[in-house]
Chain A
């Protein structure tokens, strides 16, 4: 069947430069002596460590348990001894450290006991828990825990999409995986399809990968369609791919599930199959080493391998001035190559001034609209840029700043060399910071108000208690004295009257005892009015009756 394809707006066609790293089959690295396994490797909760320093661990042993509904476990990539659980620098643009389990490999690479998983007889939740505990997360870059996405939504899911587009220049890890391990990808897709009870499976691959397309077509069975899509960056963006294959536009902030769709990377499907058929948790992945290196290739790398070690295998050239994680369009320069390979690492790209030249000087925006012509989200980047620069954050949001996927197409084409995406990242973080400040202020105000209220309440309660006590005393007093008039008034009313009388009496005494005030020469009715007020005050609060609390 011929699949009808759709288009998304804009996009760019950078030179793909994928040939160099696809000449070799996927290679493996010698076992590194030290593996640094960050606990937090997926979106969601940070796993809680299950090992202590000094523990012996086996390959595939769980060392961090998923924490919360969105989280995935992490595992020992090889057998050895836990040498430390400490903060190490993460492969993240911030360069901030995070908690890692550092394992000294013993070289035996000895597995834990493994048995195939009887997934067909498992209940949905049981299977999802298993996948969570196997650490399966999206390998396309977002590392969202897969088990969460394998739960059917309110509406039935009709289409499962596998993303094999791989649109970023230089990156070929999915390409090589599809060429060499198509059968297991298809197997994983089949398991996912069953879990979601979908009607069809579409696998989208850019048409610049004929080998991968052929391999996947050969492996694909019934109900699975391998579709060649036009090579156009960013066709591999999840929402762009869904648009191309199904015509559906999933707006920012909405999930494909709401449209009866679900999307996984081909690498994730492969790891699914490994986890089910071989009880193999996610302890390794394919990583492309490319760019300014002598021997570009793809490697199957244990999670936790220092990027240094991996990079050395590709033999970077001497003029390498930085190392990126990810591709040149959306990747970032690593703050240090001592950081480990993580589940999100798809590519390690050595850069040089000639390969990734510094941008020419930034000039003024000429409103040429070229950026808007190429934005795959139909944004008006130059408007966002103006709003961001003038700190008009409300307008920026109104013009859908947060729909921006930071694909970089706009910066790529801007004739004035404006680093638009940088401005957007900055504006977004400013808005976040403001919202955080605002909610912090709100919280503080709420706390303050709550405390005030509590103090007020305590004061009131104390006053009431004291008033009640006073009332009781007076009642006793009243009881002990002969009552002149026993009217229809209830005892309580009687007590109140007595209280008022006492108050008036005291007030009078007080008044007479104090020095002359400007109330001294009042007319008779003014005085009466004041007396009435005094009385009323005495009646209601009792505060003027009792001595003030804090004096």
Chain B
């Protein structure tokens, strides 16, 4: 027999995940427009791999298949992976990454709701450590869909001719190559950069931001996470840029480049592996942005968001413990 409340009015997990997928669409459209349709192949590969892995794991764990497959959480993970990896990466890379996320980071930790680490970010980290070369090949503007497809399916890679670096990567290598005389302004003259951030990336970033605002409006994510992430990123960048404009990129470049927008609205907002209290969310997202910036600017990897998120994932239990909001009647000031 069921007990009260006898009424419910909730969005199901499936509905929520559907809305997240919907929110990713503007970014994807911009991505295809700017970088070609290769990313669609990646999305397809990742989704298929995710569903298959999810089904196998659910079967092995004797969970109701229809119920959990239908929750679409695996597809969300798959899409985030596909959007984080280079769109012309070989097919096995995105499949491997997805399997890694679903099997290891999700199900081996107990499945939906139990994973302490963001599955998509686990996959990204494993890939960048294992395949650093393939992970930094982004399509050159001249590449058409056929060529992209060929590359994905394992075509011969005459790398330099067909690939470009991500803006952050270009900035790093530019600064390294220039040695002590290097200047950000000069590097930014390069082909990888557009008006604000990386060439073409402005549009993708805008697409993700639109999707993010939709999620905010739908109250699927709370403002704390994106706000803390973007503000911390901007503030840290402003500080260092203000001190050494020749060595550090402007905050605008950091905001409008790479995965910043994707992270702010779609990655740090993963509820399962993130902090749950309002204050904790500020700390979590702020911390992730700060660490990400540090890795970007001083570390050896082109982008540090994935590592930063995982590091903050570790801290979540502690953050949550120390940021419990006061309970009714126990607030300070009420005696």
Give residues in A with beta carbon < 8 Å to B: 8-9, 12, 14, 93, 169, 239, 243, 248-252, 254, 324, 326, 328-333, 351, 356, 358-361, 363-370, 372-373, 376-380, 382-383, 399-400, 403, 406, 408, 411-417, 419, 421-422, 425
Quick one: which of A332, A380, A413 contacts B4, CB cutoff 8 A? Answer: A332
- B13 near A378 (CB under 8 angstroms)? no
CA distance A358 to B2 in the complex (A): 8
The answer to whether A415 touches B16 (Cβ under 8 A) is yes
- With contact pairs A324-B6, A328-B6 given, residues A361 and B13 touching in the complex (Cβ less than 8 Å): no
Interface pair B12/A415, CB less than 8 Å apart: yes
Contact of A369 with B8 at beta-carbon distance under 8 Å, contacts A332-B3, A377-B327, A421-B3 already known: no
8 further interface pairs, Cβ-Cβ under 8 Å (given A332-B4, A367-B272) = A239-B328, A252-B329, A330-B4, A332-B3, A378-B326, A399-B324, A403-B330, A412-B8
**What would 11 A/B residue contacts be, using CB atoms closer than 8 Å?**
A9-B328, A249-B331, A329-B6, A351-B6, A361-B67, A366-B271, A378-B325, A380-B325, A400-B330, A403-B330, A419-B3
| Closest A residue by C-beta to B113 | A364
CA A161 to CA B137, docked complex, whole Å: 69
Chain B minimum-CB-distance residue to A377: B328
Q: Contact between B1 and A360 (Cβ–Cβ < 8 Å)? A: no
Please tell me which one of the listed residues A12, A380, A400, A425 contacts residue B3 in the complex, with CB atoms under 8 A apart.
Answer: A425
Cβ-defined contact, A363 with B13, below 8 A: yes
Report Cα–Cα, A416/B328, bound state, in Å: 25
Chain A residues with Cβ under 8 A from B7's Cβ?
14, 169, 328-329, 356, 412
Tell me the complex Cα distance, A148–B304, Å.
Answer: 65
- Least distance between A66 CB and chain B CB atoms (Å): 31
A373 to B7, CA, bound (A): 18
**B residues less than 8 Å from A329 (CB atoms):** 4-7
Chain B residues with CB under 8 Å of A93's CB are 3
CB closest chain-B residue, reference A258: B335
CB within 8 A of A417: which of B10, B73, B272? B10
Which residues on the B side are within 8 Å of A425 (C-beta)? 3
Indicate whether B241 reaches chain A with its CB closer than 8 angstroms.
no
Does chain A have a CB within 8 A of B223? Answer: no
In the complex, B9 has a CB within 8 A of chain A:
yes
In whole angstroms, what is the CA distance A271 to B329 when docked? 31
Interface residues of B in 88-125 (CB under 8 A from A): 111-114
Q: Number of B residues contacting the other chain (C-beta, 8 Å)?
A: 40
Instruction: Kindly supply a per-residue 1/0 record for chain B positions 1-40, scoring 1 wherever the CB is within 8 Å of any chain A CB and 0 otherwise.
Output: 1111111111111011000000000000000000000000
User: How many Å from the CB of A361 to the closest CB on chain B?
Assistant: 6
Interchain CB contact under 8 A, B327 and A403? yes
CB distance from B324 to the nearest CB of A (A): 7
| B5 and A421 within 8 A (CB) | yes
B64 and chain A: residue at smallest CB distance: A361
Within the assembled complex, what's the spacing in Å between the Cα atoms of A330 and B8? 12
Closest to B333 in A: A249
A369 touches B4 (CB 8 A): no
Contact B13 A254 (CB under 8 A): no
Residues of A within 8 A of B13 (CB): 363, 366, 415-416
Cβ of B238 within 8 Å of any chain A Cβ, yes or no, is: no
Q: Which residues of B contact A378 (CB under 8 A)?
A: 325-328
Which A residues are in CB contact (< 8 Å) with B71?
Answer: 363
Minimum CB–CB distance from B158 to chain A (whole Å) comes to 45
User: Which A-chain residue is minimally distant from B114 (CB atoms)?
Assistant: A364
8 A Cβ contacts from B261-285 to A: 271-272, 274, 276-277
Question: Does B12 lie within 8 Å of A417, measured CB to CB?
Answer: yes
Residues A251 and B330 in contact in the complex (CB < 8 Å), given A329-B4, A415-B16: yes
Alpha-carbon distance A351/B1, docked complex (angstroms): 13
User: Could you tell me the distance in whole angstroms from the C-beta of A389 to the nearest C-beta in chain B?
Assistant: 12
- For the complex, what is the distance from the CA of A366 to the CA of B12, rounded to whole Å? 11
With both beta carbons as reference points, the residue of chain B lying nearest to A370 in the complex is identified as: B10
Instruction: Point out the residues of chain A lying under 8 angstroms from B276, CB to CB.
Output: 367, 369, 372, 380, 382-383
Q: Which residues of A contact B272 (CB under 8 A)?
A: 366-367
Name the A residues within 8 Å of B2 (CB-CB): 333, 358-359, 419
Measured between alpha carbons, how far is A364 from B13 in the docked complex, in Å? 10
In the complex, what distance in Å separates the CA atom of A378 from the CA atom of B73?
Answer: 28
Kindly supply a per-residue 1/0 record for chain B positions 62-81, scoring 1 wherever the CB is within 8 Å of any chain A CB and 0 otherwise: 00100110010100000000
With a CB–CB cut-off of 8 A, which chain A residues contact B12? 360, 415, 417
Name A356's closest neighbour in chain B (CB-CB). B6
Give min CB distance, A4 to chain B, whole Å: 17
Give the distance in Å from the alpha carbon of A356 to the alpha carbon of B5 in the complex. 9
Cβ contact of A415, chosen from B4, B11, B64, B329, cutoff 8 A? B11
Report the minimum CB–CB distance from A365 to chain B (whole Å).
5
Q: Given A380-B277, A400-B327, A419-B3, verify A249-B334 contact (CB < 8 Å).
A: yes
* B292-335 CB contacts (< 8 Å) to partner A: 320, 324-331, 334
Give the Cβ gap from B13 to chain A, nearest Cβ, in Å. Answer: 5
Residues of A contacting B320 with CB < 8 Å? 383
Q: Give the distance to chain A from B229, nearest Cβ to Cβ, in Å.
A: 17
Q: Are B112 and A415 in contact (CB under 8 A)?
A: no
Q: Which residue of B lies closest to A10 (CB)?
A: B328
Partner of B5, one of A239, A330, A376: A330
Residues of A within 8 A of B10 (CB): 370, 412-415, 417
In the assembled complex, the CB of B241 is this many whole angstroms from the nearest CB of chain A, namely 35
A239 touching B329, Cβ below 8 Å: yes
Beta-carbon contact of B6 and A249 below 8 Å = no
Closest B-chain residue to A322, C-beta based? B1
CA distance A373 to B277 in the complex (A): 10
Task: State in angstroms the CA–CA spacing of A417 and B6 once bound together.
Answer: 12
Given that A249-B329, A412-B8 are known contacts, is A422 also in contact with B3, CB under 8 Å in the complex?
yes
B residues within 8 A CB of A421?
Answer: 3-5
Residues of B within 8 A of A416 (CB): 13, 113
Nearest B residue to A405, CB-CB = B328
Residues on B with beta carbons closer than 8 Å to the beta carbon of A365 = 113
| Complex Cα–Cα for A469 and B128 (A) | 96
- Contact status A251-B334, CB under 8 Å: yes
What are the residues of chain A within 8 A of B6 when measuring CB–CB?
324, 328-329, 331, 351, 356
Which of B6, B112, B324, B331: most chain A CB closer than 10 A? B6
* Distance in Å: Cβ of A257 to nearest Cβ of chain B: 14
- Please give me the residue from chain A that is nearest to B277 by CB atom: A380
Nearest chain B residue, comparing its CB with the CB of A254: B329
Contact code string B220-239 (vs A, CB < 8 Å = 1, else 0): 00100000000000000000
Q: Which residue of A lies closest to B316 (CB)?
A: A367
> Which chain B positions have C-beta within 8 A of A239?
328-329
B45-69 interface (Cβ within 8 A of A): 64, 67-68
Task: Chain B residues near A366: list those with CB within 8 A.
Answer: 13, 73, 112-113, 271-272
Tell me the bound Cα distance from A423 to B290 in angstroms.
Answer: 39
Distance of B222 from chain A, by nearest CB (Å): 8
Interface-centre pick from B10, B15, B68 (highest chain A CB count, 10 A): B10
Residue ID in chain A nearest B330 by CB atoms: A251
Do B16 and A368 touch across chains, with their CB atoms under 8 A apart?
yes
